[in-house]
Amino acid sequence: MFSTYTAKYTKIKSGYMGQLVEWPEVVTEGKSLEECRSMLHDALREMIRAYRQQKKEIPPGGALLEQIPAQV
């Protein structure tokens, strides 16, 4: 089975933090966006493997994101 997950990247002091919207436990950091993206892919693969070994249900992907404008 193939799923697509939604990555969210946030600029932090040490570089970037990456997290999956549908699976918030999958989170990592990298010095550059490219490094963070690569590490997030690795973290996802490892989390899928761990969940399968533990016979836990893997969260479905496919979140719908929408930006909502607000005056601040």
Beta-carbon count within 10 A of 72 CB: 3
What is the C-alpha to C-alpha distance for residues 5 and 23, in angstroms, rounded to an integer? 8
Task: Give me the residue label for tokens 């436990």.
Answer: 25
Q: Is the pLDDT of residue 1 over 80?
A: no
Q: What is the DSSP letter of 53?
A: H
What is the C-alpha to C-alpha distance for residues 37 and 15, in angstroms, rounded to an integer? 12
What is the C-alpha to C-alpha distance for residues 26 and 32, in angstroms, rounded to an integer? 18
- Tens digits of residue pLDDT in 24-51: 999 999 999 999 999 999 999 999 999 9
